[in-house]
Every structure is written in structure tokens, then in C-alpha cells.
Amino acid sequence: MLKNFLFKFFFFLGIIVISIIFLPSLLMPIKVVLFGGKLMGYWSKISLKIFLSTNIILKGKENLITNEKFFIAASHQSMFETFYLQTIFNSPIFILKNELLQIPIFGWYLKKIGSISVKRNKTTKDNLGLIDKIKNSVNNSNRPIIIFPQATRVLPTEKIPFKKGVGRIYKELGIKCQPVAINSGEVWPKKGHVKSNKPITISILEPINPGMKGDEFTNIIEKNIYSELDLNV
């Protein structure tokens, strides 16, 4: 209980402090805001280490895509990956639920860095133009798009089908996909208390080349990520 309180208190306190310090950056070039995002990522690692004795293990560095455009498809068990993946990749452009953009200060940062919002379970004019927004971001930035195909945080033992939209994005973009499997829910689950003395493993899986059908791609990436998380049973 005490570790849970201390970790969450100091983690969120740090995020708030960084957010306040970087408020003027909202009027500055985007690279200043992106630097603040990286600081939040490093703070998540420091907080986990200090209060929970959590080591972060990075597997598959040799699979990292370099010198070409790509997008990331990552598993989503915790708040952790939304912060820390900014330190591994070049400040990814997040595809996220629209509600996050409505959060004061935090939402302002998300808008500033070009995050792409989706209104879940709704057919709206904005959602219908989602692919065009994603293509525009890919064409006009050297930052990769990141999508969470589960579309929500899940428990470590949950194995929900990946959303078909990730297959459409893959097909429309025509670029490589960098799959990432993260077991962060073993330490920092979406429900309940955090757990100490357990590692978080970030697995960078082999890239998937363009050219498949959308459904075929979705099935392969789902199988590969769940296999890495030991959920293919």
C-alpha cells in the first residue's frame, strides 16, 4: 500500500511539475514541447526504479527500423508506454481517444505535438477523415505514428482481438510496421495496486513489410505480439 501511494504520488507530482515548467513551450517551436515529453518518459523510468525497484529491459534493439518511414503498433497494458516509448522512438505521433485532448494542460500539449484523435465507437466527420490525417502526418514529419491496436488498456492476462483499423492504416500507408510488445501491466496495471521488484520488458519485434492484405496483417501482428507476451494458448 505504501509503495503504491509513494510511486503514484511522486510520479504524478513529477508530471505536473514538468507540465508547468514547460507551459511556455506551447508558444515555442514544437521541438521544445517534444523535449518535455521525453523528460516525462525518463521520469517514469526513474520513478519506477526508485519506488518499485523496477528494471526496464529492452529486447530486440537489432529490429529497430532506421532511415525510413514506419509506424508503430504496440500492446497497451499501462500508462507507462504512453510516456516511455517517447524515449525509444523519435517522439511518436499518437493516435488516441478524443477525450484526452479535453484534459486541461495535458490536452494542450497533445494538440501541440500533433496527436491525432479518434472519437471511439462513433462515426463522425473527423473519424471518416482519420486516414487522411494519418497520411498527412507521415508525409510531413520524420516522427513515426504510433497506434495501440487493442484501442484501450488491458490487463496482462487479457487477450482481446486487435481492431481492424490497424490493418486499414497499414494498407493505406504502404510503409513498414514496427511491432512492440510490452508487459507493463505486470507492474503497473490499469486496475489495482502497482507491483514492486518485477521488470518491465519492452520487446521490439521484427518489422513487417508492406504489401499484405489488411486482415492478414492484423492477424499476424496480433499473433506475434500475444506470442511475445505468452498469451497465445
User: Which 8-state DSSP code applies to residue 180?
Assistant: E
Q: Which of 8, 134, 23 is nearest to 73 (CA)?
A: 134
Note whether residue 64 is domain-resident.
yes
In this structure, of 6-15, 65-74, 103-112, the range with the lowest mean pLDDT score is 103-112
Residue 182 lies in a domain: yes
Q: 42 pLDDT band (50/70/90 cuts)? A: very high
Q: Would you state the pLDDT for residue 122?
A: 53
pLDDT in tens, 146-191: 999 998 999 999 999 999 999 999 999 999 999 999 999 999 999 8
Instruction: Give residue 168's pLDDT.
Output: 93
In a domain, 25, yes or no: no
Residue with cell 507476451: 229
Number of domains the chain is built from? 1
Range of the domain at 210: 54-228
Residue 76 lies in a domain: yes
Q: 140 lies in a domain? A: yes
Q: What is the pTM of this model?
A: 0.92
3-state secondary structure of 84: helix
Whether 179 is covered by a domain: the verdict is yes
How is residue 173 written as a grid cell? 500507408
DSSP assigned state of 129: T
**pLDDT tens, residue by residue, 91-135:** 999 998 888 888 888 888 888 999 998 876 555 445 468 889 999
Residue at 10 is within a domain: no
Q: Is residue 152 part of a domain?
A: yes
The CATH number of whichever domain residue 133 belongs to comes to 3.40.1130.10
